[in-house]
Amino acid sequence: MIIKFKRKNVVKLLFSFGAAAFLTACVNDQSSKTYENALDIPVSQEMIAELTDPPFVPTPVGKRKAKKLIVDLEIQEREGEMVNGVKYVYWTFGGTVPGSFIRTRVGDEIEFKLKNHPDNKLPHNIDLHAVNGPGGGAESSFVAPGHEKIFSFKTLNPGLYVYHCATAPVGMHIANGMYGLILVEPEGGLEPVDREYYIMQGDFYTEGKYGERGLQAFDMQKAIDEKADYVVFNGHVGAMTGDNALTAKVGETVRLFVGNGGPNLVSSFHVIGEIFDKVHVEGGDLVNDNVQTTLIPAGGAAIVEFKVDVPGSFILVDHSIFRAFNKGALAVLNVEGEENEKVFAGEIYEGIYLPEGSVIQSMPSLGKKDDKKEEVKALSFEEKMKFGKDKYMATCVACHQANGQGIEGAFPPLAKADYLNEDVDRAIDIVLNGKSGEITVNGKKYNSVMTAQALSDEDVANVLTYVYNSWGNNKTDVTPEMVKAVRNR
């Protein structure tokens, strides 16, 4: 088939092709200039790189000149907690998940010292996505326990980049926590902001299901099938909640360096109650304005910035939302300062609206009694407190927070809570059967929904005993018999 064009359309088409070719040439020319300019940047003196643990970041580079930057990083295999009562052996860069944050600028010459602690069991290496070279440095950094490798590279492209272990099986090393971020700032540095934080998402695969206590081993088949038991920020559930929540003040601009170690899942990063003023898409030069949720691929990163206008608790989530509230991908930014009713006035009216009836949602049932695993029963008050805390952190922490403070205007506090302390049977009934409608706790009204929890009598007794004996409550010791009596009413 022959396609005929009118003369005018041919001119337009040729112009379009010419403009596209010109723009492409300009972009390519700009990229090559950036590359060549970086190669030509001279370095002055040596400097030891400041490395920081998450969620903190090193001092901005500002207008400093390019340096020979010495990065000294130790690989550590160490046991930690995924969630209370769940132990896991993490493989780490610098002893944390994610690994130490590395901050550089374009033109730096990096002398990288990678050390594998002699107590480790496995060889490792490092692939830095900021490196232009074979394996991102992996081919030059394969190091056995008790040994050290040194390699060097020059930072040519500004951006926020992931680094990770690339020793076979690569997925297993990443899945055990071997990832982090390296920032290459442009000449003159990034624009100053008031607060900067380091957040990295990762998916973990354990032989036991979510919240199953004890030392959990890595499950290769779950990882291959991409069936994550945990999806978390900064290595474990609750890493940035409670006393470890991020902080800011009204009027400040917050910059988050957000990475996704994977190994499998894409992150839909979102801050509930905020809009990103700027997003450096995939950590590069392209900046999008006024963004609600940004996609961060596995092995990718983004820089997000926003000004906080009102006080409150702002929840950071992967908006693949079951990951946030059921697998751990949740953090909190607490903002202090004066209210601004022009921005957010809060509740101005409350009425009744029940077009579908006042139905309380329920959690999936436990199934047949014969299908349940044998339950571990607490043999002492101390064990009740431990098991109760484990269950609380696995089930309740997203809404009621690590220290029982709740979320202002959304979920009532459990700490020093008059509503809780007045009636233990009512509290048991709410856990078993759920609760909707308005309640008053410590003089403040809340009107949310508490879903019925699919917990055994033992679990309910443990978690309520933990709550009643924490945070200034009345120290009630709830027994399985008390729970059974309420259940059988």
CA 82, 467, 366, 457 torsion: positive or negative? Answer: positive
Say yes or no: 177 and 284 in one domain. no
Dump pLDDT digits (tens) for 357-375: 545 555 555 544 444 556 6
Check residue 361 and give its pLDDT. Answer: 56
Partners of 314 in the β-ladder: 333
Check residue 258 and give its pLDDT. Answer: 98
Closest CA to 256 of 236, 235, 272, 276: 276
The pLDDT > 90 percentage for the chain reads 74
Check residue 59 and give its pLDDT. Answer: 97
Task: For residue 319, say whether it is annotated as part of any ligand binding site.
Answer: yes
Q: Is the pLDDT of residue 22 over 70?
A: no
Check residue 26 and give its pLDDT. Answer: 41
Say yes or no: 117 and 144 in one domain. yes
Which of 284, 312, 336 marks a domain boundary? 336
Q: Is 425 helix (H, G, I), strand (E, B) or coil?
A: helix
Check residue 45 and give its pLDDT. Answer: 92
Is the residue at 354 inside a domain? no
Is the residue at 370 inside a domain? no
Q: Is the pLDDT of residue 478 over 70?
A: yes
Which stretch of 63-77, 188-202, 230-244, 370-384 has the lowest confidence by average pLDDT? Answer: 370-384
Q: Is the pLDDT of residue 352 over 60?
A: no
Is the residue at 316 inside a domain? yes
The mean of the pLDDT values for the chain is: 88
Which of 302, 320, 336 marks a domain boundary? 336
Mean pLDDT score, 152-156: 97
Q: For helices 480-487 and 457-468, what crossing angle results, to 10°?
A: 120
CA 97, 99, 101, 107 torsion: positive or negative? Answer: negative
Q: Is the pLDDT of residue 12 over 60?
A: no
Spatial separation of the C-alpha atoms in residues 294 and 283, rounded to whole Å: 11
Burial of 274 (0-12, 13-18, 19+ CB in 10 A): buried
Is the residue at 230 inside a domain? yes
Dump pLDDT digits (tens) for 62-102: 999 999 999 999 999 999 999 988 999 999 999 999 999 99
Say yes or no: 171 and 69 in one domain. yes
Q: Look up the domain containing 51 and give its range.
A: 46-76+89-189
Chain centroid to CA 343: 27
Check residue 360 and give its pLDDT. Answer: 54
Task: For residue 165, say whether it is annotated as part of any ligand binding site.
Answer: yes
Say yes or no: 216 and 331 in one domain. yes
Spatial separation of the C-alpha atoms in residues 176 and 263, rounded to whole Å: 9
Q: Is the pLDDT of residue 170 over 70?
A: yes
Mean pLDDT score, 233-251: 96
First to last CA, the chain: 80
Check residue 449 and give its pLDDT. Answer: 77
Q: For helices 381-395 and 457-468, what crossing angle results, to 10°?
A: 100
Which of 280, 306, 336 marks a domain boundary? 336
Say yes or no: 185 and 207 in one domain. no
Spatial separation of the C-alpha atoms in residues 366 and 346, rounded to whole Å: 38
Is the residue at 41 inside a domain? no
Q: Is the pLDDT of residue 354 over 70?
A: no
Is the residue at 283 inside a domain? yes
Q: Number of folded domains in the chain?
A: 3
Q: Is the pLDDT of residue 1 over 70?
A: no
Mean pLDDT score, 387-394: 86
Say yes or no: 112 and 178 in one domain. yes
Dump pLDDT digits (tens) for 393-437: 877 877 888 889 888 777 899 999 999 999 999 999 999 998 888
Check residue 142 and give its pLDDT. Answer: 96
Say yes or no: 287 and 160 in one domain. no
Supply the CATH number for residue 403's domain.
1.10.760.10
pTM as predicted:
0.76
Is the residue at 14 inside a domain? no
Is the residue at 13 inside a domain? no
Task: For residue 164, say whether it is annotated as part of any ligand binding site.
Answer: yes
